[in-house]
Chain A
Amino acid sequence: MAQFQYQAHDTPIHRVHPIIKLAFLIMLALISGYIVDPLWKLPMLILVIVVAKIARLPFREYKGLLVIVAVMTFLSQFYMAFFVVDPAYFKVYPQEIVSRVIFQITPQGFPVIGETALTVGSFIWLTKLPLTAVTLLLLIATFLHTTSLNEIVQALSILKAPYPVVYITMLAFRFTPDLTRQMHIIQTAQKLRGWSVDTRNPVKLIRLYTPLLIPLGKYVMNSIDVMTISVQNRAFGAGPVTGMRSVSLRSSEKAILAAGVVIFGVLLYGIIALNWGNL
């Protein structure tokens, strides 16, 4: 399993400067968060999929996770959608379309909860979160798939990020895959001592997970200790960091970054002032 891990390939996205990748990740994530209209979100998702394809992201490994995230986010908002029936919520879409009822649950003036129904508008609203989640997940996966830890450290160093930020980022990147593996080993060890999940009581569940969480906690603490010593031993924090590739942005890269920032600024203005991407 290599989810959310760097994989060395020679693709155009891998070759992009880490600062540009970081900047585009942040800008696209913000835009994706602000936009609510699926007609805007879908092209964005398609763009991210195309970029991920170019970067040779192993979609097969993310398939299950993407489905889970899409379904969970859809279901988590499902009951709320029945309350989004007032056409006044919608500023851009025509009122006669968004108010069209797909099925009604309670009529207008129903005691306490009022009218609840699934309308075309509430259905459009319901698609917002799954599309955002899937787009963000693919964005982050593509960034991590194409940017090595050294490049991230280098980028943060150029951006003059404080030492603790760089270090914590590094630890998080380094340990995510290890933690999954270690959790599996601990779970196996405890299953052999008879551990199993045999209750749904949340309080008992917390106690039940103690045999997993304590060894995992000890592992994390020990690993962080060893890792801290280990990286300092390799001169981490000695001064400005360099890498196998040049740290300075070339003119073309600066132009791409500038163009990206301008497009981001325009989109942000459109979203705030002109209702772009709104419902």
Chain B
Amino acid sequence: MSIQIEELSFAYLNSPRQALSDVTLTCPEGQVTAIVGPTGAGKSTLLLTLNGLVPKEIPGRLEGSISIDGINIRDVPTTQLARNVVLMFEDPALQIVSLTVEEDIAFGPGNLGLPPEEIRKRVKEALARMRLKGYERRNPRFLSGGEQQLLALAGIIAMQPKYIGMDEPVAMLDPIGKAQVFRAVKELKEEGVSVIITDSGTDIQDLCAVADQLVLLHKGRILATGTPGEIFKRRDLIEEVGLRIPQVTRVSWLLESDYNMKPAEDTVPTTIDECLAFVKNSLSHVKQDNNQYVDVIGSCDNSVRENGKSKSVEGDAEGDAAVIVRNLWHVFPGPPPVEALRGIDLKVNRGEMLALIGQNGSGKTTLAYHLVGIHKPTNPDAQVIVDGVDVVHAPLTETIRHVNYVFQNPSNQLFCDTFGAEVAYGPSRLGFDAHEIEKRVNFALEQVGLGAYGEYSTFGMTRSIQGLLALASIISMEPNVLIVDEPTGGLDYKASLRVLDVLRKLNETGVTVIIVTHDMELVANYCHRVVVLKKGQLLLDGSPREVFSMPEVLEEAMVYPPQPTRLAQELGHPLIPDHVLTVEELADAIGCLARR
């Protein structure tokens, strides 16, 4: 019993490019198969072929065969295949069709024509399995992202398929949501359901913990198949593809290349536990000496490699502040009223790169909206001053000359025919003359690496180019304070690095950058300072090193430090500081110790 894919090739209608080429793959029953690869690799297309949506609903030229439990899917309509194979998509909101939780779960079984008593039974079971009991009459729109994705999964489980395909199922979720979905995947696997998950690398760390088989897809071709450890052992291949991999795997790569510490012959660690075992084993000969603690990182040849984050931005005087927030409250009227911000006090220095982190609903976006003047405080004595402008009272047209905001989804703001026109829109609305607009457009496009694209059509842009263009369209307004919502959301590794480099360059020119994010690797590698929000209040405020060295406090906000920090903390070795931030720092600390 399995899904067998034989020499599958597919090209979308009117597209000269093969989206899939000679794909041969087996997805065994009761296992989790992860299909990973950068954006455009063909992951979603491959998933859509599993229940016939490609090519039956999304036309194109398909060659080869797919059989499910021995039945060729070409002989079965999609709606009938839905009894065996059901897919879950990235955006939970777009797969929820009903206005109550129980009705939505009942949608699939109802379409299968099951009797009402059977539907009610399955709804009850699915609610219990996805821990959604008590939510029956709730409107799905008011659930968190994680809960919405669990609801989508509950709707699928109620159809009792043998195979579930998940297309980037946690890409839009916060850490709690991701944990909820991956816990559900583990449980499904234990119950014998086969799960096929696609990922562009964003959530590879969590995926490695559940995947039995990993398939590396690139430009429509399978480059490698094996366990995560076997695949990531092939460093050259991974680096050529440009895939994001678990940080602990990078630690082991560095330990092997720089310190000759070799993990097992044919595999590398891909989870914290695996890496922990590898490191402990490698350090078993090292004599512990508490007095040498401080020197471990600093004494090494390669220690504390330059990664741009070491710059600290001092500034205590209020004149140095790019942002001053005093006693900011925001209460959304109900019913029931929700206190989204509860007396926030915050000062951001000029030239800082600051991360706002916290769970969904912690108040990050509400605070960011206040900084740019979209929201106004609900208490009369609040102060929000950004780049010297009293944002509470200034008109938006004035505020946006000083501070601006890049939305997570670039398609919310892009509408022009050409790159140049898109970037020129903001400055033209601000009333600049043609010469100044042209200067700003050129500068902004250069900044994001799209300098040659001014006259290019915006039609058919990739998601990463859309993100860069959206960023350029705000850079051209030359704000001194730039707020960016999830800059790496929905991007693969290469595109993420490109966007982050743009932000770093901007920051180096003096722009204060505030990033709203769930990506702790980004925070550790790029930000000078982190502000952790919890239930509308500031929980922690400090450098990434300070903040991430307090895992117990962070846990209150359901925030977890990046993998190197967690690994160091779990290692609990007296000679390895628990505030290491990056892969390089940890590898150097471990490597230096091992040489002793």
Contacts and interface: CB of A to CB of B under 8 A. Distances in A.
Contacts of A234: 82, 86, 95, 97, 107-108, 111, 155-156, 159
Nearest to B99: A6
A233 B116 contact: no
A196 B397 contact: yes
A138 to B, nearest CB: 19
Given A234-B82, A234-B107, A238-B80, A219 B411 contact: yes
A242 interface: yes
B24 interface: no
16 contacts: A6-B100, A148-B103, A154-B110, A193-B474, A219-B412, A222-B411, A226-B94, A230-B97, A232-B53, A232-B79, A235-B159, A237-B111, A238-B82, A239-B79, A241-B111, A242-B114
Q: Which of A8, A148, A190, A233 has the most CB of B within 10 A?
A: A233
B434 interface: no
Contact of A229 (B53, B98, B372, B400): B53
B347 to A, nearest CB: 23
B559 to A, nearest CB: 26
Interface stretch (B186-194, B422-430, B539-547): B422-430
A214 interface: yes
A107 B157 CA distance: 76
A81 to B, nearest CB: 39
B96 to A, nearest CB: 9
B415 A211 contact: yes
Nearest to B428: A194
Contact of B110 (A7, A150, A193): A150
A235 B83 contact: yes
Contacts of B113: 238-242
A278 to B, nearest CB: 40
Contacts of B111: 234-239, 241
Interface in B404-433: 404-405, 407, 411-415, 425-426, 428-430
9 closest Cβ pairs, A-B complex = A194-B429, A238-B79, A214-B415, A8-B137, A235-B82, A235-B111, A234-B108, A189-B413, A230-B95
A266 B89 CA distance: 52
The binding surface of chain A is classed by DSSP as helix
Interface of A: 2, 5-8, 148-150, 153-154, 170, 174, 177-178, 182, 185-186, 188-196, 210-211, 214-215, 218-219, 222-223, 226-247
Q: Which of A7, A188, A228, A247 has the most CB of B within 10 A?
A: A188
Interface string B75-90: 0011110110011010
B58 to A, nearest CB: 7
A230 B79 contact: no
B412 A174 contact: no
Given A177-B141, A238-B80, A190 B110 contact: no
B125 interface: no
Contact of B94 (A190, A223, A245): A223
B99 A149 contact: yes
A190 B551 CA distance: 39
Nearest to A6: B99
Nearest to A222: B411
Contact of A194 (B87, B93, B136, B400): B400
Contacts of A196: 397, 429
A227 B91 CA distance: 10
Interface in B107-165: 107-116, 119-120, 123, 136-137, 139, 141, 155-156, 159
B116 A243 contact: yes
B396 interface: yes
Nearest to A154: B110
A186 B413 contact: yes
Given A241-B111, A244-B116, A193 B139 contact: no
A247 B116 CA distance: 9
B57 interface: yes
Interface string B45-70: 00010010100011000000000000
Contacts of B112: 235, 238
A193 B425 contact: yes
B99 A186 contact: no
Given A148-B98, A185-B412, A186-B413, A195 B429 contact: yes
B106 interface: yes
Contact of A186 (B87, B400, B404, B412): B412
A162 to B, nearest CB: 16
A83 to B, nearest CB: 45
B458 to A, nearest CB: 10
A235 B83 CA distance: 8
Contacts of A193: 400, 413, 425-426, 429, 473-474, 477
B110 A242 contact: yes
B102 interface: yes
B139 A7 contact: yes
A114 B83 CA distance: 72
A219 B94 CA distance: 11
B98 A150 contact: yes
Contacts of B412: 182, 185-186, 189, 215, 219
A237 B79 contact: yes
A238 B77 CA distance: 9
B2 to A, nearest CB: 20
Nearest to B426: A193
Contacts of A8: 99-100, 103, 136-137
B357 to A, nearest CB: 22
A174 B77 CA distance: 25
Contacts of A218: 411
A192 B404 contact: yes
Given A191-B374, A193-B473, A229-B89, 14 more contacts: A150-B106, A188-B374, A193-B413, A193-B425, A194-B425, A194-B426, A194-B477, A211-B425, A215-B413, A233-B87, A235-B80, A235-B82, A235-B112, A247-B116
